[in-house]
């Protein structure tokens, strides 16, 4: 009787080669991850080197480990670096609260309420997402200077309470639309109005979308150098990203070691906030169609 050799179905890897394929895939992912992390690892290594050997010994493993850069950087500026971290924390916290409050209210209105020209306003909001921020910088600066808001935190904070971040409104609208309207109808039967329905029915179910908004707002506001450098010119109002710029000197006498050390410290809150809300971030992105 003739024997035939069975071949694996098309597109499937033979069992014998599956461990090797998985090992190759993991090795490539690890290599790519290390490649992406190299700048961060180099900055951490440089912050632990004496300042005079940072660029002479560019390797990741320092020949001599010292913490002097952290001590020097913390007190190198007019105020301690903790002062600038506190300024960043205040501005970022208010920005997160403003976006959560204003964007969730706007999203509920677009997702659940009926009002004149609703589709037109929603389309205008979507178009504003594609408008670069730098296009509106000059008119915004002129407007804020007219009301004497330059060198205050109000140009950074107040727009957040006016639902100007269309991306987060769209994200929440998509999430609220996935919630069954029967919940709103049941609340209406119990005598709840729109505001009570928003607070007690919709918002508790929007925790993933709210967490996603909070995480992105925190990261973007904490790292925002351009806007904060534009409006905060007094050295007493500087935030961490702008304060880091003070370590650089155009004449070439820059404090690289202290700057790297303070950069590592300023990254700490971002990593902590992201890791704390990572599971909500994944869930929020997966349930709003923004994969």
> Tell me, what's the pLDDT at 168?
93
CB atoms < 10 A from the CB of 73, how many? 24
pLDDT over 90 at 79, yes or no: no
Check residue 290 and give its pLDDT: 44
pTM strictly above 0.95: no
Q: How many CB atoms lie within 10 A of CB 79?
A: 14
- Output Rg (C-alpha) for the chain, integer angstroms: 26
| pLDDT, tens only, 162-179 | 998 999 999 999 999 988
The rounded distance, in Å, linking the Cα atoms of 188 and 111 is 16
- Indicate if the alpha-carbon torsion angle 47, 226, 213, 133 is positive or negative: negative
Computed from CA positions of residues 84, 85, 91, 95, in that sequence, does the dihedral angle turn out positive or negative?
positive
Distance CA 110, CA 120 (A): 11
Residues 101-132: tens digit of each pLDDT? 999 999 999 999 888 998 999 999 988 888 88
Per-residue confidence at 286, pLDDT binned at 50, 70, 90?
Answer: low
Report the CATH number of the 73-289 domain. 1.10.3720.10
Mean pLDDT of the chain: 85
pLDDT tens-digit map of 58-74: 778 887 888 888 988 89
Could you report the per-residue pLDDT of 139-158, keeping only the tens digit for each?
Answer: 999 999 999 999 999 999 99
Nearest-CA neighbor of 277 among 34, 105, 153, 100?
100
């Amino acid at each position: 009787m003739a024997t035939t050799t069975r071949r694996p179905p098309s597109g499937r890897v033979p069992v014998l080669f599956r461990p090797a394929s998985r090992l190759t895939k993991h090795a490539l992912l690890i290599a790519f991850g290390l490649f992406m992390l190299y700048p961060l690892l180099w900055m951490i290594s440089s912050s632990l080197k004496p300042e005079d050997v940072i660029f002479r010994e560019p390797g990741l493993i320092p020949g001599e480990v010292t913490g002097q850069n952290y001590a020097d950087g913390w007190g190198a500026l007019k105020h301690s670096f903790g002062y600038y971290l506190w300024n960043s924390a205040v501005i970022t916290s208010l920005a997160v609260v403003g976006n959560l409050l204003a964007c969730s209210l706007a999203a509920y209105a677009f997702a659940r309420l009926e009002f004149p020209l609703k589709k037109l306003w929603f389309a205008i909001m979507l178009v504003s997402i594609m408008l670069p921020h730098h296009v509106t910088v000059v008119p915004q600066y002129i407007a804020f200077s007219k009301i004497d808001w330059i060198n205050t935190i109000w140009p950074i904070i107040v727009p957040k309470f006016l639902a100007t971040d269309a991306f987060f409104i769209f994200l929440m609208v998509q999430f609220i639309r996935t919630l069954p309207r029967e919940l709103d109808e049941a609340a209406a039967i119990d005598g709840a109005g729109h505001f009570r329905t928003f607070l007690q029915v919709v918002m508790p179910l929007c925790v993933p979308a709210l967490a996603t908004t909070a995480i992105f707002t925190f990261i973007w506001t904490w790292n925002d150098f351009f806007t904060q450098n534009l409006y905060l010119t007094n050295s007493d109002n500087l935030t961490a990203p702008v304060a880091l710029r003070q370590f650089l000197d155009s004449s070439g006498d820059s404090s690289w070691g202290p700057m790297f050390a303070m950069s590592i410290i300023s990254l700490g809150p971002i990593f902590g906030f992201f890791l704390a809300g990572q599971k909500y971030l994944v869930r929020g992105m997966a349930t709003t169609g923004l994969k």
